[in-house]
């Protein structure tokens, strides 16, 4: 029997809150999605000014990062003509995204889910996704240090 650790709704909300704070800081409203380790959507938020097509893109970035356990920016480089996963973006019904902004989330070296962000430039999407993970990790480290989380 397997024991599976995964993000829960509280975790997803922490990731989204951290990402939103960075989005506000850089002045770009974003779509933010969080998936569990099995690519299933846990939570999603579309900030008021975020682009409508970015809804699907953010969800699919999280799906891709979760399914491959790699950042979507890494897949972009590896999926160019002549590279190992050329054509990846055409697989799984076109859900695989190779644009920066999808990142896997790990806790103590164990993969637990992913975050996907879309609406800005690839660099902005990546920075917002990274900020979500940083906020999540900071909160969890504070909880462990205070003895609130086991």
Q: Could you tell me the pLDDT band of residue 2, with boundaries at 50, 70 and 90? A: confident
- Evaluate the CA torsion angle 15, 25, 145, 101 in order and state its sign: positive
Between CA 131 and CA 25 the distance in angstroms is: 11
Q: Could you tell me the pLDDT band of residue 149, with boundaries at 50, 70 and 90? A: low
| Mean pLDDT value across residues 140-144 | 69
| Mean pLDDT value across residues 16-42 | 98
Q: Could you tell me the pLDDT band of residue 147, with boundaries at 50, 70 and 90? A: low
- Give Dmax over CA atoms of the chain in angstroms: 51
Q: pTM for this one?
A: 0.92
Report the candidate in 49, 1, 10, 54 with the shortest Cα–Cα distance to residue 32.
Answer: 54
Q: Could you tell me the pLDDT band of residue 148, with boundaries at 50, 70 and 90? A: low
pLDDT digits (tens, 9 = 90+) for 41-87: 999 999 999 999 999 999 999 999 999 999 999 999 899 999 999 99
Provide the CB-side half-sphere exposure for 61 (13 A, CA): 34
Domain borders along the chain are 9-146
CATH code assigned to 9-146: 3.30.450.150
pLDDT digits (tens, 9 = 90+) for 115-139: 999 999 999 999 999 999 999 999 8
Report the percent of the chain where pLDDT is more than 90: 84
Q: At what angle do helices 122-146 and 9-26 cross, to 10 degrees?
A: 130
């Amino acid at each position: 029997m397997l024991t599976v650790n995964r993000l829960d709704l509280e975790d997803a909300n922490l990731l989204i809150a951290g990402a939103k704070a960075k989005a506000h800081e850089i002045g770009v409203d974003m779509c933010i999605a969080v998936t569990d380790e099995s690519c299933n959507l846990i939570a999603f938020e579309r900030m008021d000014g975020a682009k409508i097509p970015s809804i699907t893109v953010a969800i699919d970035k999280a799906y891709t990062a979760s399914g491959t356990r790699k950042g979507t920016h890494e897949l972009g480089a590896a999926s160019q003509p002549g590279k190992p996963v050329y054509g990846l973006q055409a697989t799984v019904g076109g859900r695989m995204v190779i644009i920066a902004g999808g990142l896997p989330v790990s806790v103590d070296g164990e993969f637990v889910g992913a975050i996907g962000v879309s609406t800005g430039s690839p660099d902005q999407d990546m920075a917002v996704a990274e900020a979500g993970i940083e906020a999540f990790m900071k909160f969890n480290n504070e909880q462990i240090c205070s003895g609130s989380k086991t």
